[in-house]
C-alpha cells in the first residue's frame, strides 16, 4: 500500500473521531480510502431532529475538528484481539458486530487500530505517524451522500461523508481545479450548448437523438475512421439490427448476455433479439461462400447501433445509454496474418487519436481463469490468444500493462487508454482476438493444400462507440472542436447592413468551396453576434466592414490562432482547406 | 367491363367445359378473369387415383380440347332463374349450392350462362359471341396450383388451373417473353450472381445481409440521394431504433400499427418498440427548442432501418422483409412553404429516376372516407391536405391519377410509379403531406407576429426503401449496373504472366484515381477470365497484351459501348471519371 493511500485511510478514521465528538450517538460502520480521498459511512439514526446528523453545512466544522485532532495522532497502532473482546467493545454498534461475526467466521485475525483517543475495528493499512505524515492542508471534506449498508437497498440507509486527500495542498488544489473544469466541460452541457444531441421523455432516457449539427459531427468522425480503414483494405457490409434466437444460441450470446439482451417475440411467437454485438451477423456474411487463402484476409467494417438492456438507474448523457453506435470491424484471417492485421489497426488508432492530441497506453485485457463460466472456449485457446497479444504488444514496443478479468467473452482484448486534456484516462479503442466464434460458426478458408483451415477473427472498434468517444472528446476539447470536425467552421458577420451584400458573396464563395459557413445578418449588435459565435466555439469568425468590402478581403478571428487581417478570400479559403485536410 | 376481360372470363368457362369432358367427376367452383388471363378452381376429390385430376402434363390436352370446343360457342347467353331451379341443377355440387344460398340470401338475381353445351352459375360479364371474339391462338393454359375454397385454410383444398389470355397471339407471346426475361432477371438470382446480398438461416428469412459489393452499391445509391438533397438544404439527423411506448401512444402508431409493431419488454418490465417509422422520433428533434419563422423550413434526412413484424409466409427476397432501410426525410415547414418543398423533392425524384431511365407517373393516394378508423385526424384536415396535393400535381403538369384508400394513416401521399425496362410498373418514391402529427406533438414555429403557429410535416423517401428500390433496379437493369454504381467498375486482365507487371501498374493508376478496379492475374485461361467478367456484368474489361505493354495503352471492352482500342491510360481514366460524374 502506498503512503497516500495509507494517509487517506487514516483520514477516514480521523473523520470518524471528529464525527463522534460532535455526534456521540453516531454509529461508525466502514470507511475506506478511495481514488481521490476517503469516505466514512455513519448511522445517525440514534437521535432525531435537526442537529442529529451533519449536512454539507456542517462539513467545515468537522474539517476544523479533524485538523485540531490531527497533532494528537502522533502514532497509529494496531493490536489483535479476541472476537469476544471486540464484540464487547462494539456491543452497541450492530454494524461492527456484523463485521466481527464475518471475520470470526472466516477465522481471520480481528484487529483494532488506535490513534489519539479513537479506536476502530479495522484491517489496517494506515499511516503509522499521522501527525507527521499528513499535511493539515492536504485534505478537505467534500460532500454528504446517502448509501445503503453494504450497498444493499434492502438494508438501512446510512450517511456517507466524502473527503478529498492528496500529498500536498498544491495537489489538492490542482484536483479541485481540474474537477471544476471537468464540471464546466461536462459533455451533457456542451452537447446542449453546441446543439449536438437531445433527449426526449417520450423516446426515453439512454436514447440520444442527434440534431443536424451532432449528426454531422458523427458523420465526420465516422468518415475519418473509414478513410483510414479504406487505405488498409477494409470493405463495408450492412446487417439488420435483429436476428432469430438461433444465431445467438450458436454464438453463445443467448446465455452469456442473458440480462442485457433485448428480446422480441413476433406475432407468430418466434423469438428474436436486438443485436448487442455485430460479430455473429458478420460471420454469416463471411460464411456465405467458401474463401480461398488467396482472398484472405476479409476485412468487414460497419458503423451500426447495438442495444443493451441497461437498468434505467444506470443511464445518463452519452456514456450510459441503451443503444451505442459501434464503428465496428471484423477481420477474418489466417493465424499467420494476425500480427500484420493488428499492426494495421494500431496504425489507424495512432493516427485517429493523434489527430485529437490524446496520449495512449495499452491494456492487455485477459480472462480471469477463476471465472471460466464468463467465457467461451478452452484454456488452450485462451493461452494461445493471450500469448499472441503479449508478443504483439512487445514487438510494437508500446507502453502496456496486463489486466486479468477484463477480456471479452470470446477472447482477450488489447484496449487503448487515452489520457485527456484534464489528465483523466478513458478506455477508448479496442482490438480483440477471437478463436472461439470461428469454432462455433465453423469458419474456414481453403489453404494451399486444398484443405479447410480454421480462420481467426479480429474484432475492432476504433472509437469504441461514437457516443462514448463523443463524450470523451467533447470534454477533452471543451467543445472547441477541431476545424475539420466543427459542424459550422466559419461564421460570417457583416458589421452593418451596408456589408450584407459582401457577406452573402463571401458566404457563397465559402460554400462553393465546401466550407461549412453561416451568415449572421441578424439585427443584433456586433458585440452580441461576436459573443454568440464565441459561445458556440466556432473555429473562425469573419468580420466584414468598409475596409474589407473596399479591398475585397476578410478579417478573420481564429479561435486558436488569434486575429488574421487583410487576407484575400482565396487565401482564407486555401487556409481552411489546408487545415481541414491536415486535420490540424 | 372491357372486351379482353370479357374474353378472359369466357375462357374460364371454356376451361371448365373442357375439364368436365375429361373429368366428369370434377366439381367446378369459381373461375374469374385476372390480370394476365383467367383461372378456374375445381374439386377433383370425387374420384381417386392417378388420372382423377389433371397435372401440368395434362394442360396441353385440355388446351386442345378448349380450342376444339370454341367454334361451337357461337353465342353465350344468360338467363335468370329461381333459387330452387338453380339448387336442383347443381344439387351434386356443394360449392355452387353455397354460392346460390348466398346470392339468394342477399336477394340478388341468380343467373345461368350457357355457351355450346355448357351452362354455369355466373354473374355475367362474358363475350357474347365467343367463337368470333376469341382468337384460338390468343390464349394458353399455364399452370396448376392448390387453392383453398374461398381462400380459407380451414376449407377444402381445390385445384386451380391458370390460363394466359390476351387480344392476340403476338400479345400473348410478348407477355410470355417478358415473363421469361423477368424470371432470368429475378433480383434474388442477380443478387447471388453479383454477390450483393445473402440470407442466413440462423439470422432468419426477411433479414438480408449485405456483402461488401452490395453494401457499396447501397452506399452509392444513398450518396446519390444525399447529394441531391444536400443541394436543397437538407441536413442529416440520427435516431436510435427503439423508443418507449409513450412516443407511439402520442403519435397513434401504438394502436394503428398494432400487429406489425415489434414490441420489447425490458428487464424492468417497461414497454418499448422497434421503430416501424422514423417520423415520431424526428418530431422530437424538431421539438428540442423553439424555432423562429426565419429558421423554417427545417429539413431532416436520415437513411435508417425500420422494422415490421410481417408474417413469415410473406417474406421473400428483398421485397418482403422484416427490416427495410428508408432513405427518409421530414420537412417541417409553414403552410405557405408546402408547394415549394414538394417541388424541390419532385426535382430530386426526377433526377434520381432519370439516371436509371425509368419513366414515372404519379398516384395521388387519398384516404378512404368509408374507413375513418384507419386514419388519424378530422375530415377537414384531410380535405385540406388532399386539395393541396391535387393543386400541386396540377401545377406541376404531371401525369397523375387519384387512388382513394391508398393514403398513409397520417395523411395523403403523392406516390411515384416507375415503369421498368420490362414494362412493369412499381411504386417507388413517395411524398406525404401530414397535418396530423404536428397536432399530436404540438409542433410550432414562432411567426412574424411573435405567435406560435402550427407547422406542417412533409414525409419523403426518394428510393422508398433501399431494399425495394434495389430489387426493382436490379430487375430493370438485369444486373448491368450503371458505371457509377457498379461495385467493380473495371476488371484488368493481363493476357499472360508477361503482362502482370503492367497490369499492376494499370491497377494502381486506376485506384489512385478513385476507379474501382480489380486485377485478375489468376492462372485461368484468358477466355475463362473474360467469360467470368462478363458474367459479373462489369462495365469495363481491360485486356493487356504485348501491344498494350509496348505502347503503354489499354484495350477496353465496354459492356455498353463495344471495343475501345489504343486508349492511353489517361484517356481511359478521364473517360471513366466523366461517365461516373455524369452518371451515364
Interchain CB distance below 8 Å, B236 and A204? no
Which residues of A are less than 8 Å from B207 in CB distance?
A: 240, 242-243
| Chain B residue whose CA is closest to A284 | B200
- B305 to A241: CB separation less than 8 angstroms, yes or no: yes
Residue A555 lies in a domain: yes
The confidence score (pLDDT) of residue A537 equals 93
Q: Which of B210, B214, B218, B242 to mutate to test the interface with A (most CBs of A within 10 A)?
A: B242
Cβ <8 Å between A312 and B270: yes
Catalytic center residues of A: 279, 308, 326, 328, 330, 413, 459
Shortest distance, CA B431 to any CA of chain A (angstroms): 21
Q: Is A260 among the domain residues? A: no
Percent residues over pLDDT 90 in chain A: 82
Q: Is residue B14 part of a domain?
A: yes
| One domain for residues A62 and A159 | yes
pLDDT higher than 70, residue A213: yes
Q: Is residue B485 part of a domain?
A: no
CA distance A153 to chain B (A): 16
Same domain, B496 and B388: no
Cis peptide before B297 (omega within 30 of 0): yes
**A234 and A332 part of one domain:** yes
Q: At CA B221, angle to CA B215 and CA B222, rounded to 5? A: 90
Residue of A nearest to B512 (CA): A231
Is there a single domain that holds both residue A458 and residue A513?
no
- Helix (H, G, I), strand (E, B), or coil: what is residue A281? helix
Q: Between helices B338-354 and B212-231, what is the axis angle to 10°?
A: 140
Task: Give A286 to chain B, closest Cα distance, Å.
Answer: 8
Domain end point (choices B447, B477, B507)? B477
B210 chain-A contacts, CB cut-off 8 A: 237-239, 285
Q: Which of A248-252, A278-282, B329-333 has the lowest mean pLDDT?
A: A248-252
Could you give the residue numbers annotated as active site of B?
A: 279, 308, 326, 328, 330, 413, 459
pLDDT in tens, B196-230: 999 999 999 899 999 999 999 999 999 999 999 99
Burial A436-446 (b: 16+ CB within 10 A, else e): bbbebbebbbb
> Where is the domain boundary, B444, B477, B510?
B477
- Whether A146 and A287 share a structural domain: no
Beta-ladder partners of B298: B332
Please give, rounded to a whole number of angstroms, the shortest distance from the CA of A216 to a CA of chain B: 7
A42 shares its domain with A166 = yes
pLDDT tens-digit map of B395-451: 998 889 999 999 988 889 999 999 998 888 999 999 999 989 999 999 999 999 999
Please tell me the predicted confidence (pLDDT) of residue A155. Answer: 92
Q: Which of B8, B46, B9, B15 is nearest to B118 (CA)?
A: B15
CA distance B516 to B300: 31
What is the arithmetic mean of pLDDT over A447-457? Answer: 95
Looking at the structure, tell me whether residues A450 and A497 fall in a common domain: no
Q: What is the mean pLDDT of residues A409-430?
A: 92
Q: How many domains does the structure of chain A reveal?
A: 3
Nearest to B241 among A211, A216, A241 (CB): A241
- B551 and B431 in a common domain: no
User: Does B210 contact A322 at a Cβ distance shorter than 8 Å?
Assistant: no
Residues A383 and A494 in one domain: no
Q: Which residue of B has its CA nearest to A203?
A: B243
Are B267 and A285 a contacting pair at CB < 8 A?
no
Q: What is the mean pLDDT of residues A406-432?
A: 91
Angstrom CA distances, B533 to B131, B218, B440, B526, B527, stand at 53, 21, 55, 11, 10
Looking at residues B515-542, what average pLDDT do you find? 92
pLDDT of residue A314 exceeding 70: no
| Chain-chain contact of A264 with B267 (C-beta, under 8 angstroms) | no
Average pLDDT over every residue of A527-532: 92
For residue B463, pLDDT over 90 is answered with yes
Both A457 and A553 in a single domain?
A: no
Residue B227 sits in a domain of what CATH number?
A: 3.30.930.10
Phi, psi of B411 (to 5 degrees): 175, 170
Contact: A266, B262; criterion CB under 8 Å: yes
Residues of A in contact with B300 (CB under 8 A): 212
Residues B467-524 pLDDT 10s: 999 999 999 999 999 999 999 999 999 999 999 999 999 999 999 999 999 999 888 9
d(CA A449, CA A458): 24
Q: Give the model's pLDDT for residue B315.
A: 67
**Residue B387: strand, helix, or coil:** helix
Is the same domain home to A161 and A279?
A: no
Of B420, B446, B477, which one is at a domain's C-terminal end?
B477
Is B456's pLDDT higher than 60?
A: yes
Question: Which grid coordinates are listed for B1?
Answer: 367491363
- A263 within some domain: no
Please give the backbone phi and psi of residue A230, each rounded to the nearest 5 degrees, phi first: -60, -40
Q: Tell me, rounded to whole angstroms, the distance of Cα B435 from its chain centroid.
A: 28
- Chain B residues with CB under 8 Å of A215 CB are 235-238, 302
> Does any domain span residue B200?
no
Nearest C-alpha in B relative to A441: B202
Q: What is the predicted pLDDT for the residue at B152? A: 85
Order of strands, sheet of B76-81, starting from the edge strand that comes earlier in the sequence: B76-81, B110-115, B118-121
Confidence band for A315, pLDDT divided at 50, 70 and 90: low
**pLDDT digit string, tens, across residues A168-194:** 999 999 999 988 888 888 999 999 999
* Residue pairs between chains A and B whose CB atoms are closer than 8 Å: 177
What is the rounded average pLDDT of the residues B356-369? 93
B442: left (phi > 0), else alpha (psi -120 to 50), else beta? left
Looking at the structure, tell me whether residues A63 and A121 fall in a common domain.
yes
Q: Tell me what the mean pLDDT of segment A370-383 comes to.
A: 85
CATH number at residue B36: 3.30.980.10
Neighbours of B144 (CB within 10 A): 18
Which ranges constitute the DSSP H helices of B23-141?
59-69, 83-89, 94-106, 130-133
Asked whether the predicted pLDDT for residue B1 surpasses 70, the reply is no
Rounded to a whole number of angstroms, the CA Rg of chain B reads 30
CA B540 to chain centre: 30
Q: Which residue has the higher pLDDT, A51 or B253?
A: B253
- Grid coordinates representing B477 are 437493369
CATH of the domain at A555: 3.40.50.800
B86 falls within a domain: yes
Report if residue A203 sits inside a domain.
no
CB B173, CB B286: distance < 8 Å: no
The percent of residues in chain A predicted with pLDDT above 70, rounded, is 99
**Domain with A341 in it:** 213-241+275-477
Q: Is A250 in contact with B322 (Cβ distance < 8 A)?
A: no
Q: Judging by beta carbons within 10 Å of its beta carbon (0-12, 13-18, 19+), is residue A250 exposed, middle or buried?
A: middle
CA nearest to B522 within chain A: A294
B102-130 pLDDT per residue, tens: 999 999 999 999 999 999 999 889 999 99
User: Beta strand B425-434 with B263-265: parallel, antiparallel or unpaired?
Assistant: unpaired
Choose the mutation target among A207, A270, A273 for the interface with B, i.e. most B CBs under 10 Å.
A207
CB–CB contact A274 B264 (8 Å): yes
Q: Which residues are A453's β-sheet partners? A: A445
Q: What is the pLDDT of residue A313?
A: 66
CA distance B543 to B521: 11
Mutation for B interface: A191, A195, A211, most B CBs within 10 A: A211
Task: Round to whole Å and give the CA distance between B495 and B522.
Answer: 10
Q: Residue A38 pLDDT > 60, yes or no? A: yes
Q: Cell numbers 390464349 label which residue?
A: B139
Amino acid at each position: 500500500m502506498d503512503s497516500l493511500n495509507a494517509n487517506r485511510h487514516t483520514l477516514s478514521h480521523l473523520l470518524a473521531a471528529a464525527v463522534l465528538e460532535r455526534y456521540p450517538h453516531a454509529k461508525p460502520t466502514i470507511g475506506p480510502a478511495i481514488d481521490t480521498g476517503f469516505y466514512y459511512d455513519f448511522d445517525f439514526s440514534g437521535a432525531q431532529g435537526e442537529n442529529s446528523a451533519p449536512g454539507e453545512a456542517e462539513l467545515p466544522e468537522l474539517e476544523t475538528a479533524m485538523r485540531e485532532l490531527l497533532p494528537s495522532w502522533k502514532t497509529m497502532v494496531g493490536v489483535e484481539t479476541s472476537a469476544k473482546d471486540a464484540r464487547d467493545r462494539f456491543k452497541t454498534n450492530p454494524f461492527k458486530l456484523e463485521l466481527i461475526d464475518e471475520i470470526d467466521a472466516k477465522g481471520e485475525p480481528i484487529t483494532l487500530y488506535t490513534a489519539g483517543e479513537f479506536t476502530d475495528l479495522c484491517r489496517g493499512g494506515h499511516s503509522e505517524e499521522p501527525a507527521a505524515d499528513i499535511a493539515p492542508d492536504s485534505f478537505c471534506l467534500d460532500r454528504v451522500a446517502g448509501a445503503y449498508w453494504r450497498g444493499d437497498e434492502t438494508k438501512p440507509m446510512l450517511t456517507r461523508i466524502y473527503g478529498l486527500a492528496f500529498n500536498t495542498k498544491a495537489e489538492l488544489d490542482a484536483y479541485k481545479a481540474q474537477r471544476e473544469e471537468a464540471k464546466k466541460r461536462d459533455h451533457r452541457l456542451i452537447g446542449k450548448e453546441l446543439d449536438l444531441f437531445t433527449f426526449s421523455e417520450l423516446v426515453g432516457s439512454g436514447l440520444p437523438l442527434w440534431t443536424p449539427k451532432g449528426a454531422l459531427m458523427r458523420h465526420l468522425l465516422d468518415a475519418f475512421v473509414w478513410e483510414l480503414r479504406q487505405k488498409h483494405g477494409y470493405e463495408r457490409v450492412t446487417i439488420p439490427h435483429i436476428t432469430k434466437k438461433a444465431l445467438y444460441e450458436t454464438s453463445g450470446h443467448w446465455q452469456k448476455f442473458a440480462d442485457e439482451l433485448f428480446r422480441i417475440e413476433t406475432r407468430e411467437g418466434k423469438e428474436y433479439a436486438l443485436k448487442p454485438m455485430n460479430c455473429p451477423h458478420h460471420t454469416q456474411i463471411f460464411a456465405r461462400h467458401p474463401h480461398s487463402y488467396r482472398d484472405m484476409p476479409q476485412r468487414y467494417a460497419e458503423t451500426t447501433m447495438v442495444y443493451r438492456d441497461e437498468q434505467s438507474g444506470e443511464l445518463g448523457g452519452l456514456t450510459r445509454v441503451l443503444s451505442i453506435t459501434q464503428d465496428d470491424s471484423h477481420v477474418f484471417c489466417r493465424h499467420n496474418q494476425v500480427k500484420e492485421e493488428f499492426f494495421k489497426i494500431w496504425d489507424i488508432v495512432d493516427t485517429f487519436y493523434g489527430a485529437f492530441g490524446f496520449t495512449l497506453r495499452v491494456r492487455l485485457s485477459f480472462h480471469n481463469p477463476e471465472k471460466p463460466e464468463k467465457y467461451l472456449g478452452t484454456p488452450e485457446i485462451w493461452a494461445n490468444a493471450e500469448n499472441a497479444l503479449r508478443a504483439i504488444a512487445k514487438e510494437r514496443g508500446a507502453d502496456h500493462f496486463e489486466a486479468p478479468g477484463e477480456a471479452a467473452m470470446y477472447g482477450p482484448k488489447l484496449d487503448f487508454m487515452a489520457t485527456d486534456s484534464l489528465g483523466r484516462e478513458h478506455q477508448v479503442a479496442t482490438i480483440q482476438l477471437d478463436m472461439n466464434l470461428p469454432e462455433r460458426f465453423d469458419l474456414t478458408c481453403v489453404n494451399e493444400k486444398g484443405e479447410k483451415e480454421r480462420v481467426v477473427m479480429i474484432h475492432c472498434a476504433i472509437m469504441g462507440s461514437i457516443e462514448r468517444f463523443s463524450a470523451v472528446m467533447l470534454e477533452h476539447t471543451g467543445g472547441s472542436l477541431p476545424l475539420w470536425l466543427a459542424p459550422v467552421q466559419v461564421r460570417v458577420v457583416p458589421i452593418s447592413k451596408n456589408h450584407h451584400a459582401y457577406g452573402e458573396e463571401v458566404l457563397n464563395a465559402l460554400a462553393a468551396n465546401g466550407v461549412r459557413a453561416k451568415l449572421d445578418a441578424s439585427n443584433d449588435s456586433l458585440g452580441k453576434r461576436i459573443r454568440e459565435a464565441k459561445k458556440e466555439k466556432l473555429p473562425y469568425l469573419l468580420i466584414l466592414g468598409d475596409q474589407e468590402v473596399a479591398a475585397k478581403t476578410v478579417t478573420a478571428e481564429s479561435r486558436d490562432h488569434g486575429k488574421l487581417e487583410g487576407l484575400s478570400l482565396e487565401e482564407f479559403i486555401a487556409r481552411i482547406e489546408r487545415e481541414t485536410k491536415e486535420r490540424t
